[in-house]
Amino acid sequence: MYVAVKGGERAIDNAHAWLAEERRGDLDVAELSIAQIREQLSLAVNRVMAEGSLYDPDLAALAIKQSRGDMIEAIFLIRAYRTTLPRFGATAPVDTEAMACDRRISATFKDAPGGQVLGPTFDYTHRLLDFALAAEGDIPEAPQSEPRTEVTPHITEFLNQEGLIQTEVSSDDVPGDLTREPLELPSSRPLRLQALTRGDEGFVLSMAYSTQRGYGRNHAFVGELRIGKVAVEMDIPELGFAIEVGEIELTECETVNQFQGSKTEPPQFTRGYGLVFGQSERKSISMALVDRALRWQELGEDNMGAPAQDEEFVLYHSDNIQATGFLEHIKLPHYVDFQSELELIRKLRREAMENINPVQEAAE
């Protein structure tokens, strides 16, 4: 434990004043605007929105500026702000089938209706530093083709038509909300997905990677990955009907995994699912792999004792704000605790010395 201590106010004020100065950096360099961060560091903004669990690009950009680019600190600021907002309600579940796709690829079907649309991807770049970006310059406009106007169907639906993959049974159940009630175990798949979508990208990535390396292997194919905008619709009680209250960018990943079957059911592919705010491809694939690993019980698989199969391990360690809060608190004053430790070790040493040199002491 740590105890409240008084004093240090002046030191704290001065530390914060210096922090503000360091944050600004060299005054000869132009100051960053929120709009610049929002437009030009948009993937950082996306990560802060996803893990901060609040979709608001301007706020996320402000948090990144305030935190000097420390992503977890920025996420912390967003989480803290989020708790001050009254909640007006919940939206209807977003219809990802109706997404206006900037990107849509499948690793399972080359000729999927709607095609393989690469979008603004880092894939196939050479990962060589582009020194041209160090200089200012105009960017030529990206080429355009005849736009697709039809809805782009989900690829798993084609498998579903043949009965080759498990059906996701639709319902209108009200999902549990771990921002309102503490997480209890065993949890449910909706709660697990809520925890994973706001979980730390690095943690979820490592958990997913561990399943690929054999710790709870589940043979995932990326059936589909899509990125784009969806409308958000909400019932407005005073109007008596639903309206679209906004539009958000999402990344959705559906994995197709190996089979489940039984004496009465023929084998079927199984699914993992990832859905994350913003353009968050790595996180969304990771989420789908970990979701699938955590479903071992429901799908009648063996518990291999793998970390990614352990709901308690994954869910209680995925949140970087909880983790950093507990980790960083040990740097705060623990003077009283440590004082008792000091006294204890002095006593233990005294007793040990007496045991080592009893004769000498007797002689004295």
Binder of another protein out of 173, 181, 302, 364 (CB under 8 A):
173
The contacts of residue 78 (CB under 8 Å, 6+ apart) are 48, 49, 52, 53, 54, 59, 60, 63
Task: Show contacts with another protein in window 106-125 (CB under 8 A).
Answer: 110-111, 115-120
183 HSE (CA, 13 A, CB side): 23
The contacts of residue 127 (CB under 8 Å, 6+ apart) are none
Min CB(87)–another protein separation in Å = 6
Contacts 24+ apart (CB under 8 A), 168-174: 168/271
Region of 139-147, 205-213, 317-325, 356-364 interacting with another protein (CB under 8 A): 139-147
Min CB(23)–another protein separation in Å = 23
How many angstroms separate the CA atoms of 309 and 295, rounded? 8
Binder of another protein out of 14, 36, 40, 179 (CB under 8 A):
179
| Residue 94 lies near another protein (rule: CB under 8 A) | yes
Instruction: Give the nearer residue to another protein in terms of CB position, either 233 or 304.
Output: 233
Residue 274-293 contact track with another protein, rule CB under 8 A, x = bound: -x-x----------------
Q: Which has the closest alpha carbon to 34: 54, 56, 58, 50? A: 58
Instruction: Give the nearer residue to another protein in terms of CB position, either 21 or 168.
Output: 168
Task: Show contacts with another protein in window 46-85 (CB under 8 A).
Answer: 49-50, 53-56, 58-59, 82, 85
Min CB(115)–another protein separation in Å = 5
Q: How many residues form the binding site for another protein (CB under 8 A)?
A: 83
Min CB(286)–another protein separation in Å = 16
How many angstroms separate the CA atoms of 335 and 352, rounded? 25
Q: What amino acid is encoded at 283 in this protein?
A: K
C-beta separation of 343 from 336 below 8 A: no
Task: Show contacts with another protein in window 314-333 (CB under 8 A).
Answer: none
The contacts of residue 112 (CB under 8 Å, 6+ apart) are 106, 155, 158, 224
C-beta separation of 256 from 221 below 8 A: yes
How many angstroms separate the CA atoms of 94 and 97, rounded? 9
Binder of another protein out of 12, 17, 236, 345 (CB under 8 A):
236
C-beta separation of 115 from 101 below 8 A: no
| Residue 183 lies near another protein (rule: CB under 8 A) | no
Region of 38-46, 243-251, 261-269, 339-347 interacting with another protein (CB under 8 A): 243-251
Region of 63-71, 239-247, 305-313, 345-353 interacting with another protein (CB under 8 A): 239-247
Q: What amino acid is encoded at 122 in this protein?
A: F
Two tokens, residue 332:
């705060």
Instruction: Give the nearer residue to another protein in terms of CB position, either 208 or 276.
Output: 276
Min CB(11)–another protein separation in Å = 35
Q: What amino acid is encoded at 18 in this protein?
A: W
| Residue 187 lies near another protein (rule: CB under 8 A) | no
| Residue 304 lies near another protein (rule: CB under 8 A) | no
| Residue 184 lies near another protein (rule: CB under 8 A) | no
C-beta separation of 220 from 272 below 8 A: yes
Min CB(170)–another protein separation in Å = 6
Region of 34-42, 66-74, 86-94, 279-287 interacting with another protein (CB under 8 A): 86-94
